[in-house]
Structure 1
Amino acid sequence: MTREVLLSCRGLEAGYGASQVLFGLDFDIAAGEVVGLLGRNGMGKSTTIKSLIGGLRPRSGTVRFGGKDIHGLPADAIARLGMAIVPEGRQCFPNLTVREHLVAFADNRNGRRDPWTLERIYGLFPRLKERANHLGNQLSGGEQQMLAIGRALSTNPRLLILDEATEGLAPVIRAEIWQCLERLKAEGQTTLVVDKYVEKLVRLADRHFILERGRVAWHGTSAELDADRALWTRYLGV
């Protein structure tokens, strides 16, 4: 059965000032898919994400989300359409409590029958319930990452984007985050993941796109990527 295409990029070009970073990216994400966006540092992953979420206006090309053209829309409008990001660096608010983070942006934008409520998020990350009245700057790095994921889930997004969600975490916390992503996949959450742990991603994601100097250098399934370790060395430095 063919899945509905939720996100579609065609000829996406973007950059900063006189510097062009993306050169005609083409890729799709189908509803219910988990897709990995891979590449060495400086190859365009962060610029791609900024172009999708409204943080950077693309210079040319088209971006369609849920059948709507979102090229050039501001970030808040794109978020209201059902796109949410767990940003690199977590970006938790230092003066809001855990609970305030999780209720301030809550909305069932995806029309889920079983939406991510405050209690469901606490069930996913019990530590957040224990720390409900702590401020964002009183949490450990791992707790902040759980909070960033919970905050994104509270909007019940159609597309969840995770930018280096396991970067800099202790192994036990990193394992907990991967378990969370496996649960979200089982529930059918469409997800775009940027992460350097390729071994974990090939077990989680359906497909992958590898960026090289702002272009899609390779794309294929997890089985294909897992079978060709030369790709890991050539494009990912693994």
Structure 2
Amino acid sequence: MNAPLLCCRGLEAGYGTSRVLFGLDFDIRAGEVVALLGRNGMGKSTTIRTIVGGLRPQRGEIVFEGRPIHAERADAIARLGVAIVPEGRQCFPNLTVHEHLVAFAARRNGVAEPWTPARLYALFPRLAERADHLGNQLSGGEQQMLAIARALSTNPRLLILDEATEGLAPVIREEIWRCLALLKAQGQTTLVVDKYVERLMALADRNLILERGRITWQGSSAELDARRELWGRYLGV
């Protein structure tokens, strides 16, 4: 079996003297969609921040494509091919939609069909209609589409979404799920956090459940569907 695209071993992290993650061990293989599940405050966003270089781990290692990255800066990790759609979207208020899609564009990884503005507009037609609008002139749903498109414009090896559909209207959530299903069909490796467990199970190949900074369970979506007692115990569903 091929080596994992991302490998986390003994990962511990926190803020100041407060420890949040306690020895996480997990892998993500190329082409997989992995869901990171758990109640609020269990360490999901801290895990993501640590992977992308926003937080330096206190112990353990993170290896991406065979290269240790836990001591790298966030910009270096991004250039290696890790892209994040952050919680809260963080679109730039003074850049237009189109400027978002060209300012961060990078043709990495030798992809046969790189994500260009034209392809991104085809993925999200609403953005094409808003191409000249500034980031602060968009609705929340449009900003989420833009945040995903911006991440894809870097042609990442690993796409990470923190709270993929939080605060979005149902029709917009469906648009985001449609997009993620299409990306999976195209082989995009993805790590995703979201509270809609049913929708995540339909998308994810594997699921990791975090409880107080530890992985308490991991398995396939079929296995998670068969273990509904875990939903109430760890997910509040």
Instruction: Bin the TM-score by the shorter chain.
Output: over 0.9
CA distance in 2, matches of 1:38, 1:3: 25
- What is aligned with 2:134? 135
Three-state SS of the structure 1 residue aligned to 2:182 is helix
Tell me the alpha carbon deviations over residues 110-146 of structure 1, each in whole angstroms, 9 at most, x when there is no partner.
Answer: 2210111110000000110110000000000000000
Q: Percent identity of the aligned residues?
A: 77
* Letter aligned with residue 233 of structure 1: G
What is the TM-score when the length of structure 2 is the normalising length? 0.99
CA distance in 2, matches of 1:165, 1:111: 27
Query: Which stretch of the first structure deviates more once superposed, 203-212 or 109-118?
Result: 109-118
CA distance in 2, matches of 1:40, 1:25: 17
- What is aligned with 1:81? 80
User: How many residues are paired up?
Assistant: 237
CA distance in 2, matches of 1:70, 1:165: 24
> What is the Cα-based RMSD across aligned positions, in Å?
0.6
CA distance in 2, matches of 1:51, 1:24: 13
CA distance in 2, matches of 1:120, 1:177: 16
Following superposition, which runs of at least 4 residues in structure 1 exceed 4 angstroms of deviation?
none
What is the TM-score when the length of structure 1 is the normalising length? 0.99
The 5 Å alignment of 1:1-238 reads 2-238=1-237
CA distance in 2, matches of 1:57, 1:65: 15
CA distance in 1, matches of 2:110, 2:17: 42
Gaps of 5+ in 1: none
Gaps of 5+ in 2: none
CA distance in 2, matches of 1:152, 1:167: 17
State the shift of 1:3 in Å: 4.5
CA distance in 2, matches of 1:189, 1:4: 17
